[in-house]
Amino acid sequence: MAERNRKENIVLFPFMAQGHIIPFLALALHIEQKKKYTITLVNTPLNIKKLRSSLPPNSSIRLLEIPFSSSDYGLPPNTENTDALPYHLVIHLIQASTSLKTSFKKLIENLIEQGDSPLCIIADIFFGWTASVAKDLNLFHAIFSGASGYGLACYYSIWMNLPHRNDVDSDEFYLPDFAEASRIHVTQLATSMREADGTDAWSIFHRKKNLLEWVNSDGILFNTVEEFDFVGLSYFKRKLGKPAWPIGPVLLSYKSQARVGKEGGTSSELCIEWLNTKPLNSVLYVSFGSMNTISASQMMQLAMGLETSGKNFIWVVRPPIGFDINSEFKANKWLPQGFEERIKGSRKGLLVHNWAPQVEILSHKSVSTFLSHCGWNSVLESLSHGVPIIGWAMAAEQFFNVKLLEEEMGVCVEVARGKSCEVRHEDIVQKIELVMNETQKGKEMRRKACHVMEMIKNAMKDEVGLIGSSVKALDDFFSAAMSMREKTKKEENPTA
Ligand SMILES: *[C@@H]1O[C@H](CO)[C@@H](O)[C@H](O)[C@H]1NC(C)=O
Ligand SMILES: *[C@@H]1O[C@H](CO)[C@@H](O)[C@H](O)[C@H]1NC(C)=O
C-alpha cells in the first residue's frame, strides 16, 4: 500500500533549443497537474536558469543541471541553446549534445542511489541515444515528440532512406516506407535534408546516433490527437513495433507563455482591445513563430498583400533575414512607404513587435484565419480554437504539417514555401480571399476547422464515464511504465 502513495519520479530531457524545451515544459506542467508525480527536468546550466524563471512560482517541478561547456566543442562560449547560434553552427551543438551521454547516465545513477529511481525517462526526438542508457539501467524509456505524427513520420523516413537521392533528375519523390504521404517535392525539404547525401554531419547524426536508436525505446509520446493524426502514429507502430501514445494537445497557458516569451512592445491588452472593435470572423492573424522570419522581399510582398486584401490583420513582425531577429523593427525600412501610418489611420492593421499573446488572439471571436509557419504548437493552438490556416512553412517538419493539414484534413491552404521562395502579393491576396471570403472553399475550411476543434475537446475529456483518447493514452503510457517497474522488481527480487 505504501508503494502506491510513493511519489514516482519522472525524468524529462529536452534538446537544447527553445522549440524543444517549450513543449517539454508544457508536458511537465501537464503531468504535474494530472498526476501527483515528482517531475525532474534535466538540461545544461544556462537552460536550467532560463527554465527556473519560466516555471510558475507554485510549481513542484525539479530542475537538474547536467554539465556542459560549449567552448570544448568549438562553439562560442556560453552557447547552450540553438537560439544563440547561426544556422551553420546548429549541427555542432547537436553533435556536442551526444557527448552528454556519460554525464546523463551518471545523473540517473545518482538518482537511483538516492532511492529516487525514475519510473521513466522521457527524452527528446534528438536524444535517441538516451534509450540505451535507460536500457542499461533497466528503466522505462519514451521519446516525446512535439511534432505531429505525420510530420515526424515523413522526417524519420526521409532521413533513414534519403529517397530524394535515388533519382536526382526528378524534383518529386515518394517515401518507400510511408506511401500514405504520397508525393513530396524537393522544395518541401529543409536545407539540411535537401543537401543530405549520407556522408554529411546531419545524416551521420540521425542515422548513427539518433533515429537508429529509437528501436531501443519503449515507445513514443506525441503531442497530437489520434483522431486526425492516426496515419503518422501507425507509421511508428509499424516501423518500431512499439506503442505511439497521442496525448495532446499539451500547450502552455497564456500565463506561462507570457513568462517564457519576451513580452514587450505591444501589450496584450492593446491586442485584445483592438480585436474587441472588430466584427466577428474578420481578422487575419499573421505570425511565423518566435524563431523564424522571412526575407526582406517576402516581407514587402506580404505587406502589400495584406493591404490590398483590405482585411483586418494583426501581424507579429520581426526583422527580415540578415538582421538580428531580436533587434528593433524598422517599419520605414522594411515595409512599403507609409504602410504603418496608413494601417494605423484606417485601423485595418496592428503590427505587434516580437511577442504576441497568441492563445488570447486565436481564442478571440473576431479572428477568422491564421497565416502561420505551421510549427506544430501553433497548429494545435489554432485548431483548438477552430481557426483555419494559411500555411507558409519555414523549416524542419513544418512542410509536412502543411501537407497533413491541407491534403488530409482540409483545414489549410498553402501560400508559400520557405524563406527564399519568390512570393507575389497577388497570390497572397488570392489565398486570403479564398479562406476569409464567403467562398465555398472558405466555408468548408471553417466548418472542418470547427469539427477538428470538437475532436480536440473530446480527446481531452476527463470525466467519469467519459475519457477522451488523449487522456486514455497518457494513462496507458504510465500503466506501461508501471508494469515494467513491477516486472523488473520481481526479476531482481523473485521471492518478494
Ligand atoms: C499553481 O497555481 C495555479 C493557479 O492558482 C493552479 O492552477 C495550479 O494547479 C497550481 N499548481 C500546483 C502544482 O499547485
Ligand atoms: C472577396 O471579398 C472582397 C470584398 O467583398 C471582394 O472585393 C473580392 O472580390 C472577393 N474575392 C473573392 C475571390 O470572392
Per-domain boundaries in the chain: 9-252+466-492, 264-456
For atom 10 of ligand 1, the residue with the nearest CA is 58
> Does any ligand 2 atom lie closer than 6 A to the CB of residue 443?
no
**Cα–ligand 2 centroid distance for 417 (angstroms):** 25
For atom 8 of ligand 2, the residue with the nearest CA is 433
Query: Does 9-252+466-492 match 264-456 in CATH topology?
Result: yes
> Does any ligand 2 atom lie closer than 6 A to the CB of residue 441?
no
Range of lowest pLDDT (233-247, 292-306, 480-494)? 480-494
Grid cell at residue 11: 525524468
Looking at domain 264-456, does it have CATH number 3.10.450.40? no
**Cα–ligand 1 centroid distance for 63 (angstroms):** 18
> Does any ligand 2 atom lie closer than 6 A to the CB of residue 433?
yes
Residue 382 in this model has a pLDDT that exceeds 80: yes
> Does any ligand 2 atom lie closer than 6 A to the CB of residue 439?
yes
Residue 264 in this model has a pLDDT that exceeds 60: no
State mean pLDDT over 98-109.
97
pLDDT of 496 reads 57
> Does any ligand 2 atom lie closer than 6 A to the CB of residue 437?
yes
Distances in Å between the Cα of 331 and the Cα atoms of 32, 33, 337, 444 are 43, 43, 9, 36
Handedness of CA 135, 124, 403, 193 (dihedral sign): negative
> Does any ligand 1 atom lie closer than 6 A to the CB of residue 57?
no
d(CA 146, CA 112): 28
Angle between helices 440-459 and 376-383 (to 10 degrees): 100
Which ligand is in closest contact with the Cα of 58? 1
Backbone angles phi, psi at 347, to 5 degrees: 55, 30
3-state secondary structure string, 28-81? HHHHHHHCCCEEEEEECHHHHHHHHHHCCCCCCCEEEECCCCHHHHCCCCCCCC
Ligand 1 atom closest to the Cα of residue 32 is 13
- The DSSP string of 327-358 is S---HHHHS-TTHHHHHHHHT-EEEEES---H
Find out whether 280 and 405 touch, Cβ atoms under 8 Å: no
Contacts of 263 (CB under 8 A, 6+ apart): 355
pLDDT band at 494 (very low <50, low <70, confident <90, very high): confident
Which pTM was predicted? Answer: 0.96
Ligand 1 atom closest to the Cα of residue 60 is 13
Q: What percent of the chain has pLDDT over 70?
A: 98
Backbone angles phi, psi at 265, to 5 degrees: 70, -130
d(CA 458, CA 491): 40
Ligand 1 atom closest to the Cα of residue 59 is 13
Question: What would the pLDDT profile of 184-213 be if each residue is shown by its tens digit?
Answer: 999 999 999 999 999 999 999 999 999 999
Pick the CATH number of 9-252+466-492 from 3.40.50.2000, 3.90.1150.10, 3.30.70.270, 3.40.640.10: 3.40.50.2000
Candidates 426, 433, 438: which one to mutate for ligand 2, based on the most atoms within 8 Å of Cβ? 433
> Does any ligand 2 atom lie closer than 6 A to the CB of residue 430?
no
> Does any ligand 1 atom lie closer than 6 A to the CB of residue 32?
yes
